[in-house]
Structure 1
């Protein structure tokens, strides 16, 4: 057979599966039975169907086509596509209840089939919010298999049905799963419980609160609570490091104030510039205050902020308020850390501007340029460490990205 005819037959079968047209099935299956399995024609081994016809029909909900294919080629029910997806996966993902019922009656062992990432049909029903399909799958295995084993089955990333339903914002599925014998605090391969995923998933606030209440009402906790000793040790190490950094910032800010750029006047007298008296400095007063009073006001303000916010952070650490009041005190520490760091950057920028030969607006512009550059670099490093290098971060902080739900394929 020519390559043209091969492609023509393959395309004809795919379109028949897409449209649910059973008329060409008998003719094509008689001449090319391998195509019903999504295989190749012998003469042209590189001519592959986009998807096996049974999977295509199950995805679009063509019940008659599915029944006819199973009659002509029963083994196709166990056949998977390139992603390891069977017809039951497709039907469960798209919520076609009549096809799910027929496939389970045809062979209930189809529930054991897993995709390339280790997900069975229940995983796909849960992640796509197909509540009725999930109920049907659970009902189909009750009395014959251990339902609890299926409900708590994990994929290759360690995600259970509850993980997938929580992350994909399917609240009705979450409620249904919580009414069954499901492990509410199961950990995935990154050490995250379903409650941990609420922080990472893009839910709107009301949905997140409702889902969190459902989970906590059934005993759900954060992964850190499952290992309190480890969590306390991690926090202790972080607290020691943060206290050292805060002490260094406070020390630098204090030294900047008592020893400002340009030093202090060593004796009383008049400051003369171009034969005119500019000011009458006093011993111990800042040279910068006399030569650039406006710049000195900003310098002393930012240096004082850096000193005050660093002391604030140290006091919060020493008082152990974080371990007692939780999120509020932790937010205060983060706020104090950012304010002290940015204030120190501004203090350095003003000092550098004063020590140059620039004056007036040029000095102010130079200080502003240095500040913006430094702040931009700090923000870049923060976001790079927080999001760009997430794979190297702690397992408790990793973000999980799921593949998109399997929806009906476009024409």
Structure 2
């Protein structure tokens, strides 16, 4: 039995017997730029056991293309040997990204192939095993979503859309093919109303293709009078889009100026800022709990006739009478107390404001950070005001209002700055093709 016979029989034992006889067995006929390797032959016939052994012995074979522009995984998929394709994927998930003829990857292939539930499950497994595979484009700049829509594969589109939502990559729906068409443009051209309805809310309805047409304009040309509900949804906002050149020609937004000034645009600097801000917030909160001088441990006698006085004095026998106080009041004297409270509060709220501003670009995933910082700010204010001397109730209330105003400022200012930034960035109409965008 020769090598082809071992492949046909899916006999791993015979394969190794042949290798013992000729250690270069697998290399015969596998040279050249586009070889038809033994792995190609095994995958083409769905001989999973032998295919896996050859892929382990010769990992490079799995990424080579034959003269037809197919990798072993492409051949397995084309011949519906899904078990073999799945086995190769478990061996090396990067095989999902191998580009074959036309730049089509295995992910593109399963996204465009209308089949049974097993094929849909394989599509989901590909996405789960190799997240970056969604970035890959065909030679026509098509994503897997483009391919699914062009092939009217509604089930595959739903799998892709659900996955993009879960991994927060719906921005890929904005990517354009070689004609400047987003997936929404394609869905309108192909008259796939169900897909159009699913896409609205996740794509920019004002995006134009390279012919200068929006999805609504294409829809009106093909549906001049009917489907008014879809037309209404496609109208979207009237805000004009910006091309990249127009965006780069503009002045920096307030958010971008903030990033350059504080260095938060750099990942390393951002980590340092967060660490320092957290340390300052911890130190200032602790200082509010344990102010210099501490607290009175007991209350002054309630029978003291000078209970409402704010200064220490002496009685008729010349014995000093302590300043009126209650247990738990801060001991620090008024001028120092005011200065300490104001400066400590400003440092505390500046630090949590920095944390909020740094976390904002990742909203809504950082929503719990906002909630936690708000609760912490309220607790800080309540703690400080409740420990203020009862004889100085008015300054204590003023300090409470001052702290609340600081908390509102550190919450609202980052939101306003970020909102204005998004108002410009969300109008950009680039070709896409990169996961990292200008908002992150």
The TM-score normalised by the length of structure 2 is 0.41
